């Protein structure tokens, strides 16, 4: 006994077509465009549609939250200074000399009262550099009552904003273990303790505290949770971040402040408020050899402003911000980074400067601490980059202030950002999701502020985002979004294509950004970019103007994709795009020579009017459906499918809002219903062309589009009537007489306008000239009224597809629609039976009415209800399982790499690459030998002398009643043999006379194989199998099979007979006898092999790789 299985030597059919009146499928390959580095936006959509057994929608991307849902601002600041100038605190013994300056002011150089006022004003001015719009209030050597009044007033003014409480306790004792800080009594004769618990209750939340005093770290444990009263009073929506206090402390619980006379007494405060001055002074003091020619006073003469990046001082501040931001992003958890460095501008500035305080103060034996706690950052490698930038800048300024004679010198901007971009570019050459993210990513965002490096930074950012969704998510978490959103206001033409690419990547990951784009008028940017793809940028142009555009096709694709996302399920986006004549721009682009452009333009149009009746009305008036219908005859099946989808979203209507009041104008309502019903039928007749397409993708999209007509509340009762009428009789009949044709054409006049008649007549002529005519008798005509023939024709095509379409997914969709209609009919009949049984009446058919409007009235009462119920709310819920996920798949494919990815078959180290190198070299001798023989036979004299010596090589038993087809592979020693039905056997005639494998083509009963052929023989061979039911299936060759035996051995073979593996299925245990292998199966997509035995044991094997 032996059981065999194969990874089917030929996998599931890629393409399935039928010849029963269907158009041929375009078989143009995409391999050449892929190798040329073209875009890969859904080029394999057709292949995936045909191979997937079930259309499972793509799983949504796991997006790590990157938006700051709770933007905060610090608008009120309380500055409390307890200096008591002239009196040192009793618990601190100061060295001589020691640090004396407070806020760069020497308190002993002026009277004590004036000194503390000067220090207070200086501290306020330093904070105003970081938040100039905040409200500041000073409290100098205060009492408990003054602090309480100060804090309560700050909270009252701040409302739900953050309050900053700054405490300088250099003139009072250290905080206590009980969580007390010290202030004064009214006569300044005693130190009075103040509980931080009381302080929290007055300040409330959200809040941030700065404690610049010795042993400040002892207070952190008392800020672990806010007072209960304030959690309920001041917390913003009860969110954790709003109810938490942030604390910055100058040193740990057992440490004293530094007393180095080269530093300020309030070095912690100075680091937080004047970081550049402190950093440069400290750098000079730490590098006495290289900076010996400079003194601290030189720093005060550095020209420029902190806010002007073109000046030396502004450039240093810019570099410092980029470095501290990058250190924080690389060291902190993402959530903590977002909270401290992106939520509040003032908090972000303080924490950037806190990193500097940690570096400087730890060198003095003091450890600043915070709540929440931060990891150590004082030894981060980027600090050396800051030292280098500072040294270069200071030396250059010194040379400018002391120039050489007759030498012209000017200040040269720092190369810091250019070098960081180079480092980022090097990382991109080897980067992947499996490696740590580039530490320069926050630098790239800072560089976007500079026009000099902006374009290069955007290009590098584009390459980074192309690495995958993880890279996009990472960039968003850093803070790219507000930068690129603001850049949409830039008129710079050189940035357009890069920004379009970046936004395509962002929207592919997170479509919720559509709200921000519409709010900031960003959609106009992309519509104008799409219009630039036309000959003159839009307007009235010829249909072929897009072909003359110089814009790359991928730019048009990405612009169309972005606009599609903006409109997708977002009514404000649709309303914003419609007035900018997006539909007219798209109509001109439908003639673009690139197939991806045409496909995405169709999808863009679909999203513009999907569930948006105002847009539907406008595009119908502009005859857009007629132009879009021509794309159902496009050369590419993906374009035809997209056109079918667009037409499907166009059908269906809701009632005119002007007629939905208490007093309904019935004549106006009737005109409206007739007009929109006519429009739906015109589009439905166009879609019938797609139902007869050779591509199963197009046929299924057309069927799903027709479902929007058939199951619409207005049309469904009429299709139910057709279904009941033809339930027990054939739908089609022999061709009618000319008189009958005239009668049918007379029905086209029901709309009452020449345009309506012409549109229906032209569609009817195009769609049904090759199909059987549909006979509509007087009974159905009286029941449905005008347009009965068209309802019957649509139903006829559906029933024909249900019985004859070879593609299972198409049949399933048709069956779902037909079953839904039949179920509605059955439900109505059961309701009628129950109603008759309750009234005791005899079941009878409702009387027919010669007035067609009676059907409308009756159906409206039963199926439609009031006018307000005429609204079509989308796809019927019962058919949700048949909705094709094509659009979601196409949208998700923008997450894949776009920028000329390296093809696996171009990499000689990959398996496919090695095979592509091996095949030509191994096939060349065969081709040469064949050519030589043909050349010899071409000589007439030698043909006469040539004798063929034939000998038997093998006898192969096909185990069938007859052998109908034989096919050799042109290069491999493989022979395919087909029997009288659908079984195909593979032999390696040089190695063995037994079958290597057998598989079935799964023809319908009564059909047989009629053709076998190899295509793409020199690469990955494809086998085409044709049968007499009109179906062609294409299989991808796989060269592996396996067999199992009664002695628990499993062997894996190549198709040429070479044994690849020998597996011992199961070892016996304590003499137990294991059953023989009874079944084997390969996983269809992975290297897994399952084996089962007669003793109910199943084993799963995987490759060593």
**Per-residue pLDDT reduced to its tens digit, 366-381:** 999 999 999 999 999 9
Q: Is residue 792 part of a domain?
A: yes
Mean pLDDT value across residues 796-821: 91
- 272, 92, 301, 119: which is closest to 191 by C-alpha? 92
SS (H, E, C) 316-365: HHHHHHHHHHHHHHHHCCHHHHHHHHCCCHHHHHHHHHHHHHHHHHHCCC
The predicted structure's pLDDT at residue 18: 38
| Residue 354 resides in a domain | yes
Q: Tell me, what's the pLDDT at 324?
A: 97
Q: Are 652 and 709 in contact (CB under 8 A)?
A: yes
Q: Quickly state the pLDDT bin for 276 (edges 50, 70, 90).
A: very high
Look at residue 7 and tell me whether its pLDDT is greater than 60: no
Residue 661 DSSP SS3: coil
The predicted structure's pLDDT at residue 869 = 34
pLDDT category at 1100 given cuts 50, 70, 90 is: confident
Query: What would the two tokens of residue 405 be?
Result: 């004679």
Q: Which of 67-81, 263-277, 492-506, 726-740 has the lowest mean pLDDT?
A: 726-740
Q: Which of 355, 381, 407 is the last residue of a domain?
A: 381
Q: Which domain holds residue 1047?
A: 1041-1102
Q: Is the pLDDT of residue 554 over 70?
A: yes
Contacting residues for 924 by C-beta, under 8 A, at least 6 apart: none
Report the number of distinct structural domains present in the chain.
3
Q: Which residues contact 209 (CB under 8 A, 6 or more apart)?
A: 164, 165, 166, 167, 203, 223, 245, 246, 247, 248
Closest CA to 646 of 620, 673, 678, 677: 620
H or E stretch covering 418? helix 416-430
Residue 108 pLDDT greater than 60, yes or no: yes
Structure-block tokens of residue 822? 């039949």
**pLDDT at 938 (0 to 100):** 52
pLDDT band at 729 (very low <50, low <70, confident <90, very high): low
Helix (H, G, I), strand (E, B) or coil at 217: helix
Asked whether the beta carbons of 605 and 583 are under 8 A apart, the reply is yes
Residue 30: name the closest of 895, 604, 589, 638 by CA.
638
242 in any annotated domain: yes
Do 275 and 130 form a contact (C-beta atoms < 8 A)?
Answer: no
The answer to whether residue 588 is domain-embedded is: no
Q: Which pLDDT band, with edges at 50, 70 and 90, does 1098 fall under? A: confident
**In the structure, what pLDDT confidence band is assigned to residue 152 with cuts at 50, 70 and 90?**
very high
Distance CA 280, CA 387 (A): 9
Tokens of 655: 């009632």
802 membership: H or E segment, kind and range? helix 788-804
Own/partner pairs, 392-400, CB within 8 angstroms, 24+ separation: 393/312, 393/315, 393/316, 394/280, 394/284, 394/291, 394/294, 394/298, 397/298, 397/302, 397/303, 397/312, 398/293, 398/294, 398/298
Contact at 8 Å (CB) between 636 and 26? Answer: yes
Q: What average pLDDT score do residues 449-476 get?
A: 93
Q: How far apart are CA 845 and CA 378, in angstroms?
A: 90
Give the three-class secondary structure for 1078: strand
Instruction: Tell me what pLDDT residue 318 has.
Output: 95
Mean pLDDT of the chain: 79
| Local structure of 401: helix, strand or coil | helix
| Radius of gyration of the chain from its Cα atoms, rounded to whole angstroms | 40
User: Does residue 865 surpass a pLDDT of 60?
Assistant: no
Strands, DSSP E only, in 980-1048?
983-987, 995-1000, 1009-1015, 1022-1027, 1032-1036, 1041-1045
Tokens of 1013: 């052929």
Q: How far is CA 670 from the centre of its chain?
A: 44
Select the more confidently predicted residue: 773 or 526: 526
CA distance 443 to 421: 8
Residue 517 pLDDT exceeds 90:
yes
Is 631 part of any domain?
Answer: no
Pairing between β-strand 1088-1093 and β-strand 1077-1082 as defined by DSSP bridges:
antiparallel
Other beta carbons less than 10 A from residue 228's beta carbon: 9
In angstroms, the Cα distances linking 1050 to 11, 697, 811, 1081 are 22, 40, 39, 12
d(CA 191, CA 143): 9
For the purposes of burial, counting CB atoms within 10 Å of the CB of 62, is it exposed (0-12), middle (13-18) or buried (19 or more)? exposed
Model confidence over 1051-1072: pLDDT tens digits? 776 555 566 677 765 555 444 5
d(CA 848, CA 137): 88
Q: Which of 329, 349, 381 is the last residue of a domain?
A: 381
Burial of 947 (0-12, 13-18, 19+ CB in 10 A): exposed
* pLDDT at site 872: 35
How many Cα atoms occupy the beta-carbon half-sphere of 896 within 13 Å? 13
pLDDT higher than threshold 80 for residue 306: yes
Q: pLDDT band at 171, cuts 50/70/90? A: very high
Are the C-beta atoms of 1024 and 1015 separated by less than 8 Å? Answer: yes
More confident residue, 479 or 763: 479
Read off φ and ψ for residue 926, nearest 5 degrees: -65, -45
- Give the residue with greater pLDDT, 219 vs 1046: 219
> How far apart (Å, rounded) are the C-alpha atoms in residues 229 and 204?
9
Average pLDDT, integer, range 731-753: 37
pLDDT at 736 over 70: no
Least confidently predicted of 254-263, 924-933, 974-983? 924-933
> What value does the mean pLDDT take over residues 57-62?
60
User: Would residue 1056 count as lying in a domain?
Assistant: yes
Q: Residue 1068: its pLDDT value, please?
A: 52
Q: What CA–CA distances, in Å, run from 362 to 212, 251, 828?
A: 15, 9, 83
**Residue 473, SS3?**
helix
Lowest mean pLDDT among 225-229, 616-620, 756-760: 756-760
- The winner for highest mean pLDDT among 136-140, 951-955, 1002-1006 is 136-140
Whether 782 maps to a domain, the answer reads yes
> Chain centroid to CA 827: how far?
42
Among candidate residues 1008, 987, 990, the one with its CA nearest the CA of residue 998:
987
Which of 381, 405, 426 delimits the end of a domain? 381
Mean of pLDDT values over 704-713:
92
| Mean pLDDT for the stretch of residues 1035-1057 | 64
**Both structure tokens of 577:** 């795009």
Q: What's the pLDDT band for 502 if we cut at 50, 70, 90?
A: very high
Q: Say yes or no to pLDDT of 295 above 90.
A: no
* 174: in domain: yes
d(CA 641, CA 704): 11
* Confidence band of 104 (pLDDT split at 50, 70, 90): very high
pLDDT tens, position by position, 922-949: 667 777 666 666 655 555 555 555 555 6
Rounded Cα gap, residues 810 and 822, in angstroms = 18
Q: Do residues 483 and 498 make contact, with C-beta atoms less than 8 angstroms apart? A: no
DSSP 457-525: HHHHHHHHHTT-HHHHHHHHHHTHHHHHHHHTT---GGGHHHHHHHHHHHHHH-GGGHHHHHHTTHHHH
Measured CA to CA in angstroms, residue 1104 lies from 67, 865, 1082 at distances of 42, 65, 15
234 Cβ contact partners less than 8 Å away, ≥ 6 residues apart: 155, 160, 204, 205, 206
Helix, strand, coil abundance in the chain, percent, nearest 5: 50, 10, 40
Residue 991 pLDDT greater than 90, yes or no: no
How far apart CA 542 and CA 550 sit, in angstroms, is 16
Percent of the chain with pLDDT over 90: 46
pLDDT at 565: 95
Percent of the chain exceeding pLDDT 70 equals: 73
- Quote the pLDDT of residue 840: 61
Length of the chain: 1105
Measured over all CA atoms, what is the biggest interatomic distance in the chain, rounded to whole angstroms?
134
């Amino acid at each position: 006994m032996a059981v065999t299985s194969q990874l089917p030597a030929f996998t599931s059919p890629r393409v399935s077509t039928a010849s029963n009146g269907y158009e041929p499928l375009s078989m143009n390959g995409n391999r050449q465009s892929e190798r040329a580095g073209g875009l890969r936006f859904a080029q394999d959509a057709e292949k995936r549609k045909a191979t997937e057994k079930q259309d499972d929608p793509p799983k949504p991307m796991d997006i790590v939250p990157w938006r700051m849902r709770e933007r905060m601002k610090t608008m009120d600041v309380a500055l409390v200074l307890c200096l008591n100038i002239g009196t040192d605190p009793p618990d601190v013994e100061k060295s001589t000399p020691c640090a004396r300056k407070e806020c760069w002011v020497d308190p002993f150089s002026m009277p004590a009262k004036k000194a503390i006022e000067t220090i207070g004003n200086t501290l306020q001015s330093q904070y105003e550099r970081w938040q100039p719009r905040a409200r500041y209030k000073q409290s100098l050597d205060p009492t408990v009552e003054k602090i309480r009044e100060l804090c309560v007033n700050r909270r009252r003014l701040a409302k739900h904003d953050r309050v900053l409480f700054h405490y300088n306790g250099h003139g009072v004792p250290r905080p206590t273990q009980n969580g007390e800080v010290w202030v004064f009594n009214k006569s300044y004769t005693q130190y009075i303790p103040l509980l931080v618990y009381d302080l929290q209750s007055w300040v409330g939340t959200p809040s941030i505290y700065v404690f610049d005093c010795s042993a400040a770290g002892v207070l952190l444990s008392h800020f672990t949770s806010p007072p209960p009263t304030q959690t309920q009073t001041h917390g913003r929506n009860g969110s954790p971040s709003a109810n938490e206090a942030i604390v910055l402390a100058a040193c740990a619980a057992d440490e004293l402040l530094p007393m180095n006379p080269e530093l300020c007494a309030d070095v912690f405060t100075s680091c937080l408020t004047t970081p550049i001055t402190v950093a440069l002074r400290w750098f000079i003091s730490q590098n006495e050899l290289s900076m010996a020619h400079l003194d601290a006073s030189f720093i005060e003469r550095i020209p420029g402003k902190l806010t002007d990046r073109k000046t030396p001082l502004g450039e240093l501040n810019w570099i410092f911000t980029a470095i501290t931001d990058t250190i924080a992003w690389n060291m902190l958890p993402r959530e903590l980074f977002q909270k401290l460095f992106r939520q509040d501008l003032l908090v972000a500035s303080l924490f950037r400067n806190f990193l500097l305080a940690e570096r400087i103060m730890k060198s003095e034996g003091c450890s600043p601490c915070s709540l929440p706690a931060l990891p150590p950052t004082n030894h981060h490698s980027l600090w050396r980059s800051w030292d280098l930038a500072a040294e270069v800048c200071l030396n250059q300024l010194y040379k400018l202030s002391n120039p050489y004679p007759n030498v012209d010198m000017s200040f040269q901007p720092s190369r810091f950002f250019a070098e960081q971009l180079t480092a980022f570019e090097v990382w991109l050459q080897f980067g992947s999701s499996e490696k740590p993210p580039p530490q320069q990513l926050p630098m790239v965002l800072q560089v976007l502020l500079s026009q000099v490096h902006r374009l290069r930074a955007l290009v590098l950012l584009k390459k980074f985002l192309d690495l995958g969704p993880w890279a996009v998510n990472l960039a968003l978490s850093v803070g790219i979004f507000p930068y690129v959103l603001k850049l949409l206001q830039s008129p710079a033409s050189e940035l357009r294509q890069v920004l379009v690419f970046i936004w395509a990547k962002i929207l592919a990951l997170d479509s919720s950004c559509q709200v921000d784009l519409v709010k900031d008028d960003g959609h106009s940017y992309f519509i104008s970019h799409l219009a630039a793809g036309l000959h003159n940028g839009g307007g009235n142009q010829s249909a072929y103007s897009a072909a003359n555009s110089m814009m790359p096709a991928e730019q048009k694709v990405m612009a169309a994709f972005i606009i599609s996302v903006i409109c997708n399920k977002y009514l404000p986006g649709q309303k914003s795009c419609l007035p900018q004549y997006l539909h007219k721009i798209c109509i001109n682009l439908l003639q673009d020579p690139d197939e991806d452009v045409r496909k995405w333009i169709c999808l863009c149009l679909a999203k513009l009017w999907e569930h948006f009746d105002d847009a539907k009305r406008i595009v119908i008036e502009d005859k857009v459906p007629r132009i879009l219908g021509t794309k159902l005859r496009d050369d590419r099946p993906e374009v035809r499918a997209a056109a079918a989808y667009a037409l499907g979203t166009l059908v269906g209507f809701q009632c005119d809002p002007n007629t939905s009041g208490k007093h309904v104008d019935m004549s106006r309502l009737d005109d409206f219903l007739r007009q929109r019903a006519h429009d739906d039928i015109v589009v439905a007749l166009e879609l019938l062309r797609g139902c007869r397409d050779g591509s199963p993708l197009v046929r299924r999209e057309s069927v799903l589009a027709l479902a929007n007509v058939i199951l619409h509340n207005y049309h469904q009762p009429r299709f139910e009537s057709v279904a009941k009428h033809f339930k027990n009789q054939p739908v089609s009949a022999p061709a009618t007489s000319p008189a009958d044709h005239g009668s049918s054409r007379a029905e086209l006049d029901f709309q009452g306008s020449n345009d309506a008649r012409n549109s229906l007549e032209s569609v009817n002529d195009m769609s049904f000239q090759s199909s059987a005519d549909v006979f509509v008798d007087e009974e159905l005509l009286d029941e449905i009224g005008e347009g009965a023939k068209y309802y019957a024709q649509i139903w006829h095509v559906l029933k024909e597809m249900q019985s004859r379409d070879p593609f299972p997914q198409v049949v399933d969709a048709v069956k779902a629609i037909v079953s839904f209609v039949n179920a509605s009919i059955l439900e109505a009949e059961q309701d009628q039976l129950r109603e008759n049984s309750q009234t005791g009446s005899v079941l009878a058919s409702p009387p027919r009415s010669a007035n067609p409007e009676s059907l409308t009235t009756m159906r409206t009462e039963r199926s439609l209800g009031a006018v307000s119920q005429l609204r079509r709310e989308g796809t019927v819920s019962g058919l949700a399982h048949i909705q094709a996920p094509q659009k979601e798949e196409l949208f998700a494919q923008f997450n894949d790499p776009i920028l000329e990815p390296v093809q696996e078959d171009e990499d000689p180290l990959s398996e496919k690459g090695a095979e592509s190198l091996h095949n030509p070299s191994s096939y060349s001798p065969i081709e040469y030998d064949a050519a030589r023989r043909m050349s010899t036979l071409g000589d007439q004299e030698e043909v006469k002398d040539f004798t063929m010596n034939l000998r038997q090589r093998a006898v192969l038993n096909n185990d069938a009643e007859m052998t109908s087809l034989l096919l050799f592979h042109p290069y491999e020693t493989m022979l395919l043999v087909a029997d009288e039905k659908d079984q195909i056997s593979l032999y390696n005639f040089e190695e063995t006379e037994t079958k290597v494998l057998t598989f079935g083509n799964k023809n319908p009963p009564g059909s047989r194989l009629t053709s076998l052929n190899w295509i793409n023989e020199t690469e990955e061979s494809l086998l085409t199998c044709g049968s007499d039911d009109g179906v062609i299936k294409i299989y991808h060759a796989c060269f592996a099979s396996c067999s199992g035996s009664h002695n628990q051995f499993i062997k894996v073979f190549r198709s040429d007979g070479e044994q690849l593996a020998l597996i011992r299925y199961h070892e016996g245990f304590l003499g137990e006898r294991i059953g023989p292998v009874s079944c084997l199966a390969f996983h269809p997509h992975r290297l897994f092999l399952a084996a089962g035995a007669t003793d109910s044991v199943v084993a799963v094997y995987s490759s060593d790789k």
